[in-house]
């Protein structure tokens, strides 16, 4: 296939923009040195994305979208350059660690290409779904963006020099946050690191607490936005904000330390990290803005007094002595909105009774939010139709997590997922803002599932707060805030206890609601044992945390069948609407069939008239 280039130069080789970021809603520096920058805007109505990539090179630029690995193989790749004033763009796919071949169908649309002051900028667009199996379908959840570039232009489609630099980064590509400027009447508060030295490590997590001011009564937080120190865009990867309730000593307000060093972390900081996650930001995202009728309440008696800012730094080249003062800026107002926002955590209860054997490439854990736990509270909602409206989701596992999703069930019928990330990356975490508010009605239920990979582990992975332990939770932001609706989870203690009873009977006496004796047993897992645990998890009932009123110290009472509940199930799976690809394929097939039948009819009529065919 010949090189793809613009037949007409006008409109394609435009002027170099003074500030390209003003054209796009999202931006990320793909490398710490900021030699390659990526911009994009999502058009939900047209189901398309407009892109721009700018690199410090006068040669070719390559950009790719990799489903989960962050590698070339299986990636959807676009390569562009500007030569002799003409922009070129080619749609390709990765088959290995060699020059990606051209796609049969060229689906990226070139908008413009410029080369100036040692930089090349390419602008292009593409549909979410091109109906091309050589392309990557853009979906909600994490996308691995890969990049590469070289100082020289290709001489042909099939002759270009190997990259001089490459890398990858995770982003939330389909980000539906509506961008707007803050209202001048809103007050702002900045929670920033103070010239903190970024650790000389590839990956690090640093925490700092901030005491909120005396707001003088109830206020609404209406906007969170990232504050990334200029020049550090390539180092600041993501951050999360935890709300800390209860007493917090003033002397710890000067604490800045490792967020995942649980053994040496002050207990008060650790307790705060167990609190609600009220904001999460990742590279490429903009501000989180509450709907005009919703605000997050502060300044009330039951409001948190301290917020913990946790920043993930990415320093793959182990740069030493880099200082950072990044953080978050929040806006609040005394002009209260119609509804308070709340946070609801849904999933599997965090305890050592969550068990994942080692050497597993596809282990699923499941937590349930049963209607018995929410119905009464949801019926007390001030909404005319009762229930709550879900604004966003913050899906959360630890290092072994590979995918995570939240299913929505109503009267035994599965509805569209509340949230899903098939390419989960612990080192990239961000709130998913839903394109439309999701109505969770009285009687509705949720199934929270996570997929894990422990092929690189030789020991059991238990549930817990450490990153080497695991979680399976969706922190949901919703309105209106309901007093008793902040957690809805379950536990699989009965199933794991059955496993202990079969394989480690001498340890079962040490079972406690919050302690799994498998921790002490230290199993040497076999395939048979892993299959046994999976079978117990599949068939045994679960403990619904809101319903089990057993004496915590009496484990036999905790797992008594009368205190257990059935799992959430559905008898009618969700059927997504047919994709435009299916519709177009059917239409094309129908047209071909009609043409084929028409030709047969014409030939039959001719043959009868010519005497070639007789009846």
Residue 584, pLDDT score: 57
Residue 15, pLDDT score: 41
Does the model's pTM come out above 0.95?
A: no
Mean pLDDT for all residues in the chain:
88
The pairing of beta strand 294-298 with beta strand 339-340: parallel
Residue 282, pLDDT score: 79
Active site residue 205: yes
CATH of the domain at 483: 2.60.120.230
Provide the β-strand partners of residue 313: 204, 236
Residue 599, pLDDT score: 64
Question: Which stretch of 72-76, 193-197, 408-412 has the lowest confidence by average pLDDT?
Answer: 72-76
Residue 603, pLDDT score: 59
2 vs 350, more confident: 350
pLDDT of residue 514 exceeding 90: no
Question: Which stretch of 169-178, 186-195, 247-256, 372-381 has the lowest confidence by average pLDDT?
Answer: 169-178
Share of the chain above pLDDT 70, in %: 90
Q: Are residues 252 and 310 in the same domain?
A: yes
Which of the listed residues 139, 171, 203 is the one where a domain comes to its end?
171
CATH of the domain at 155: 2.60.40.1210
* Phi, psi (deg, nearest 5) at residue 289: -115, 125
From 5, 88, 205, 296, the catalytic residue: 205
Residue 207, pLDDT score: 94
Q: Are residues 220 and 167 in the same domain?
A: no
pLDDT of residue 425 exceeding 80: yes
Q: Are residues 368 and 510 in the same domain?
A: yes
In-domain check, residue 61:
yes
Q: Are residues 520 and 371 in the same domain?
A: yes
In-domain check, residue 333:
yes
Neighbour tally for 485: CB within 10 Å = 21
In-domain check, residue 610:
no
Cα distance from N-terminal residue to C-terminal residue, the chain: 50
H helices present in 393-526, as ranges: 493-503, 518-521
Q: Are residues 404 and 553 in the same domain?
A: yes
Question: Which stretch of 18-27, 302-311, 416-425 has the lowest confidence by average pLDDT?
Answer: 18-27
Q: Are residues 500 and 556 in the same domain?
A: yes
Highest mean pLDDT among 186-200, 272-286, 571-585, 587-601: 186-200
- Judge if the upstream peptide bond of residue 480 is cis by omega within 30 degrees of 0: yes
Q: Are residues 519 and 478 in the same domain?
A: yes
Neighbour tally for 427: CB within 10 Å = 15
Mean pLDDT of 429-438: 89
In-domain check, residue 62:
yes
Mean pLDDT of 385-391: 97
Mean pLDDT of 86-114: 94
The pairing of beta strand 109-116 with beta strand 36-43: unpaired
Domain enclosing residue 472, as ranges = 342-563
pLDDT of residue 10 exceeding 50: no
**pLDDT, tens digit, for every residue of 119-155?**
999 999 999 999 999 999 998 888 999 999 999 999 9
H helices present in 510-554, as ranges: 518-521, 527-539
Question: Which stretch of 5-9, 63-67, 324-328 has the lowest confidence by average pLDDT?
Answer: 5-9
Distance CA 247, CA 105 (A): 61
pLDDT of residue 359 exceeding 90: yes
Which of the listed residues 563, 582, 598 is the one where a domain comes to its end?
563
pLDDT of residue 355 exceeding 60: yes
Distance CA 205, CA 259 (A): 5
SS3 407: strand
Residue 340, pLDDT score: 97
Q: Are residues 322 and 398 in the same domain?
A: no
Q: Are residues 493 and 428 in the same domain?
A: yes
Residue 551, pLDDT score: 56
352 vs 6, more confident: 352
Question: Which stretch of 350-359, 535-544, 606-615 has the lowest confidence by average pLDDT?
Answer: 606-615
Given pLDDT bands bounded at 50, 70 and 90, which one contains residue 13? very low
pLDDT of residue 543 exceeding 60: yes
Q: Are residues 269 and 356 in the same domain?
A: no
Q: Are residues 302 and 234 in the same domain?
A: yes
Residue 272, pLDDT score: 86
From 220, 396, 398, 434, the catalytic residue: 396
Active site residue 396: yes
Mean pLDDT of 308-331: 94
Question: Which stretch of 28-42, 93-107, 114-128, 267-281 has the lowest confidence by average pLDDT?
Answer: 267-281
In-domain check, residue 546:
yes
Share of the chain above pLDDT 90, in %: 64
pLDDT of residue 613 exceeding 80: no
The pairing of beta strand 142-149 with beta strand 61-66: antiparallel
pLDDT of residue 586 exceeding 60: no
Highest mean pLDDT among 29-43, 161-175, 445-459: 445-459
Which of the listed residues 291, 309, 340 is the one where a domain comes to its end?
340
Highest mean pLDDT among 211-220, 427-436, 594-603: 211-220
In-domain check, residue 359:
yes
Nearest to 236 by CA among 444, 88, 415, 34: 34
Question: Which stretch of 15-19, 316-320, 368-372, 544-548 has the lowest confidence by average pLDDT?
Answer: 15-19
Residue 614, pLDDT score: 55
Residue 261, pLDDT score: 84
Residue 577, pLDDT score: 86
In-domain check, residue 606:
no
CATH of the domain at 238: 2.60.120.310
The tally of domains found in the chain comes to 3
SS3 175: coil
Question: Which stretch of 381-385, 448-452, 598-602 has the lowest confidence by average pLDDT?
Answer: 598-602
pLDDT of residue 62 exceeding 90: yes
Residue 52, pLDDT score: 97
Residue 314, pLDDT score: 86
SS3 503: helix
Q: Are residues 324 and 204 in the same domain?
A: yes
Residue 21, pLDDT score: 82
In-domain check, residue 401:
yes
Token pair belonging to 70: 């962050």
Residue 251, classified by CB atoms within 10 Å of its CB into exposed (0-12), middle (13-18) or buried (19+), is exposed
CA 543 to chain centre: 28
Look up tokens 């709907």; give the residue. 291
């Amino acid at each position: 296939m010949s090189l793809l280039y613009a037949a007409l130069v006008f409109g394609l080789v435009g002027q170099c923009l003074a500030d390209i970021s003003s054209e796009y809603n999202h931006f990320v520096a793909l490398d710490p040195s900021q030699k390659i920058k990526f911009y994009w805007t999502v058009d939900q109505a047209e189901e398309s994305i407009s892109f721009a990539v700018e690199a410090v090179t006068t040669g070719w630029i390559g950009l790719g979208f990799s489903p989960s690995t962050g590698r070339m193989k299986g990636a959807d790749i676009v390569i562009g350059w500007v030569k002799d004033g003409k922009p070129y763009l080619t749609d390709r796919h990765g088959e290995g660690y060699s020059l990606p071949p051209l796609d049969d169908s060229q689906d990226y649309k070139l908008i413009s290409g410029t080369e100036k002051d040692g930089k090349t900028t390419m602008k292009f667009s593409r549909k979410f779904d091109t109906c091309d199996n050589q392309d990557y379908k853009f979906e909600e959840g994490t996308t691995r963006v890969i990049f590469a570039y070289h100082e020289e232009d290709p001489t042909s489609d099939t002759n270009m020099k190997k990259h001089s630099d490459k890398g990858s980064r995770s982003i939330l590509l389909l980000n539906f946050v509506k961008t707007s400027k803050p209202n001048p009447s809103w007050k702002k508060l900045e929670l920033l690191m103070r010239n903190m030295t970024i650790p000389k490590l590839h990956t690090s997590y640093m925490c700092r607490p901030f005491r909120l001011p005396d707001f003088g009564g109830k206020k609404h937080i209406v906007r969170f936005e990232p504050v990334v120190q200029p020049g550090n865009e390539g180092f600041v990867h993501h951050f999360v904000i935890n709300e800390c309730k209860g007493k917090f000593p003033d002397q710890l307000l000067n604490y800045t330390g490792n967020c995942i060093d649980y053994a040496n972390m002050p207990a008060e900081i650790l307790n705060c990290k167990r609190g609600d996650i009220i904001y999460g930001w990742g590279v490429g995202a903009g501000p989180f803005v509450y709907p005009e009728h919703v605000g997050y309440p502060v300044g009330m008696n039951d409001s948190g007094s301290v917020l913990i800012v946790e920043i993930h730094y990415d320093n793959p080249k182990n740069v030493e002595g880099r200082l950072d003062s990044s953080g978050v800026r929040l806006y609040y107002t005394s002009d209260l909105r119609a509804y308070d926002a709340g946070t609801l955590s849904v999933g599997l209860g965090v305890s050592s009774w969550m068990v994942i054997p080692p050497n597993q490439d596809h282990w699923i854990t499941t937590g349930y939010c049963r209607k018995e736990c929410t119905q009464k509270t949801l019926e007390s909602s001030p909404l005319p139709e009762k229930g709550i409206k879900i604004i966003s989701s913050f899906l959360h596992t630890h290092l072994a997590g590979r995918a995570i999703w939240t299913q929505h069930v109503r009267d035994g019928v599965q509805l569209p997922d509340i949230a899903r990330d098939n390419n989960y990356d612990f080192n990239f975490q961000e709130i998913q803002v839903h394109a439309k508010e999701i109505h969770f009605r009285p009687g509705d239920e949720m199934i929270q599932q996570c997929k894990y990979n422990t092929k690189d582990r030789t020991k059991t992975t238990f549930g817990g707060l450490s990153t080497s332990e695991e979680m399976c939770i969706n922190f949901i932001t919703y309105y209106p805030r309901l007093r008793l609706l902040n957690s809805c989870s379950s536990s699989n203690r009965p199933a794991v206890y059955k496993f202990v009873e079969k394989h480690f009977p001498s340890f079962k006496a040490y079972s406690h609601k919050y302690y799994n004796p498998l921790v002490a047993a230290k199993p040497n897992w076999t395939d048979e044992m892993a299959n046994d645990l999976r079978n117990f998890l599949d068939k045994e009932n679960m403990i619904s945390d809101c319903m089990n009123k057993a004496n915590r110290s009496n484990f036999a009472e905790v797992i008594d069948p009368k205190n257990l509940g059935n799992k959430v199930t559905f008898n009618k799976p969700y059927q997504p609407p047919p994709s435009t690809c299916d519709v177009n394929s059917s239409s094309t097939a129908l047209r071909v069939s009609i043409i084929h039948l028409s030709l047969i009819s014409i030939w039959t009529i001719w043959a009868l008239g010519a005497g070639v065919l007789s009846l």
